[in-house]
Structure 1
Amino acid sequence: MSARLYVDLPLGPEGQELDLPPGPTRHAQVLRSQPGDVLTLFDGRGEQEWQAEVLAMGRSVVRVRLLSARVLRHELPQGFRLALVMPANDRMDFLVEKATELGVAAIQPLMSERSVLRLSGERADKKVAHWQGVAQAAAEQCGRARVPQVAAVRTLPQWLAELPPAAGEARWLLSPQAQGLPGRPAQGELWSLSGPEGGLSAGEEAAAQAQGFQPVGLGPRVLRADTAPLALLSWWGLAQL
C-alpha cells in the first residue's frame, strides 16, 4: 500500500508535475521513497485522491507526476460541525484526531466562563495550527479526502453573536439536564455545542438556546468533556450507514 499524504496545493489534472511542499517532502524522505515509487496524494479540497509517481528525490525537493484520480465517498451524507469549549491538557489533541476519523466537517474551539484552558494571541494561533496538523494527519490515516477546518479560538459569547440564523441545519446543545436525543432530521447538517469540564453555566445555556440550540442528553451517566461530543458524533455517523 502506497503512502498517503496531504498536499496543501490544488491537484490536477492528470499528468501534472509538481514539487511536494515541505511537510509531505519530509514524509516521503522518511519513507525512503525512490524515483518510480507511487504515492497517494489528496489536497483536502474535494472528494478524490491521486496516484502520483515519484520523479526525483532531492535533499529538499521531491518531484512527482499525477497519474490518475479516484473519487472517494467517505464523507458523512449529513455533515456534523462541532463547537466545543476546549478541554484541558492534551485532551483536545485526542478529540481533534478522533473527531476527524469519525467524519467531523469542522471544529470550533471555544472558551467559556468555566474554561480551564484559556488561549489568546500567538499562543492561540499556534495551538490552532497544531490542531489543524493533527486533523491533517488523521485524514491521511483514515482515508478521508477532506480535512476538517479547525477555526480560530473564540469565546462562546463571541461565537454565538457571530453565528448566522439557522438555515436548514439542526443545532443541538449537549446538556446533562436534558432527556435523550431527538430523532435525527431527515436532511441538513448538525451543529453540536458542548461545554468544558465544569459544564456551561445556566446563562450560557440560555444564550445558546436563544440561537436555536436544542438541549439534548446522552443518558444518565455524566460523560467527560472530550467523551460526550465524540459519542454524539459516533451516533450521528452510524445512523447514516
Structure 2
Amino acid sequence: MISRFFCPVPLPRAGEIQLPEALAHHAVRVLRLRDGDPLILFDGGGGEVPAVLHVRGKQCFATLAERRDVERESPLPLVLVQALASGDKMDWIVQKAVELGVSALVPVQAERSVLRLAGERAAKRVEHWQQVAVSACEQSGRNRVPAVAPITGLRDFLARPHDGVRLVLDPTATTRLLDAERPAGAVQLLIGPEGGWSDEELAACRSAGCGGVTLGPRVLRTETAGIAAIAALQATWGDF
C-alpha cells in the first residue's frame, strides 16, 4: 500500500514541492520511506495527488503527478456530537468516526462527563483530536478532513440553528435507530457520556427538536454507542 499524507498547504497542479518538516519527518524517520518511493498527497480540498519522494540531505521534496479527482465521502452528511469521555476514549472515538465517514465532530461538555476541559487545555485537546482526524483520513483514504469543533456546552450546541435532523441516543426511547425517518439533509447524532445524559439534558434535547432513538435493549459504552450508530446509519442511508 502506498503511504498517504495530508499536506496542510494547497498542492499545485504539477511540479516539485518541498514537504513540510513534520510530514517529511513522518515519512522518512517514522515510516522509513526512501528516495524514489511513491506516495500520495492530499490537501483537504478534494482529490489526491500521486507523487515521488526525493530526499536531499535533511530536506524532502515531492514530484507531483496529475491530481486525481477521487472522492470517498459518504452521501450522508453525518455530524457526531460526542459528550466528552475520559482517558484515551475520545481519541478512539474520533479515529473510528472519521474512518466510518462522519463529516464533522462536535465535542460537548455534559453534566456527567468525567473529563472536564476549559481554556488552553481545551484548545490543545481539540488540536490533538484534529490531528487524530488527519491521521484517520490518511489511513482510510479520505481526501477531505472532518473538522473537530471547539468544545461547547450541550445547551449552547442545541441553541444553534440546524436545517437537518438531530437524533439523540436515549435509553428510554421507543423508536429504534433504523426506524427513524430518512433525513432530507444532514444528521447530527448526539451521544452521551459514561454516565449517560441527565434527565434535564434529555428534556433539553427533546425541546430542541431532537428525535430520541435507541440501539436496542443492551447498554453500550459511550465509546461503542456512537460508532455502532454511525455504522448502522451508513448501512441504511449512507454508502455501506
Is the shorter-chain TM-score for this pair beyond 0.5, marking a shared fold? Answer: yes
Tell me the CA shift for residue 56 of structure 1. Answer: 4.1
Partners of 2:50 and 2:106 lie apart in 1 by 32
Amino acid at match of 1:95: I
From 173, 178, 203, give the equivalent of 2:168.
173
Tell me the CA shift for residue 184 of structure 1. Answer: 4.7
Amino acid at match of 2:144: R
From 202, 206, 209, give the equivalent of 1:205.
202
Q: 1:224 and 2:216 equivalent?
A: no
Partners of 1:57 and 1:188 lie apart in 2 by 49
8 Å contact kept, 1:53–1:65: yes
Q: 1:190 and 2:200 equivalent?
A: no
TM-score normalised by L of structure 1:
0.91
What RMSD in Å do the two structures reach over aligned CA positions?
1.6
Unpaired runs of 5+ residues, structure 2, are none
1:41 corresponds in structure 2 to: 41
Tell me the CA shift for residue 210 of structure 1. Answer: 2.1
Identity of aligned residues (%): 42
- Superposed structure 1 runs of 4+ greater than 6 Å apart: none
8 Å contact kept, 1:35–1:54: yes
8 Å contact kept, 1:170–1:188: yes
- Partner of 1:159, secondary structure, is helix
Unpaired runs of 5+ residues, structure 1, are none
TM-score normalised by L of structure 2:
0.92
What does residue range 53-132 of structure 1 map to in structure 2 within 5 Å? 53-59=52-58, 61-132=59-130
Per-residue CA deviation, residues 137-172 of structure 1 (Å, 9 max, x unaligned), is 1111111111111111111122222x11x32x1110
- Partner of 1:71, secondary structure, is coil
2:20 corresponds in structure 1 to: 21
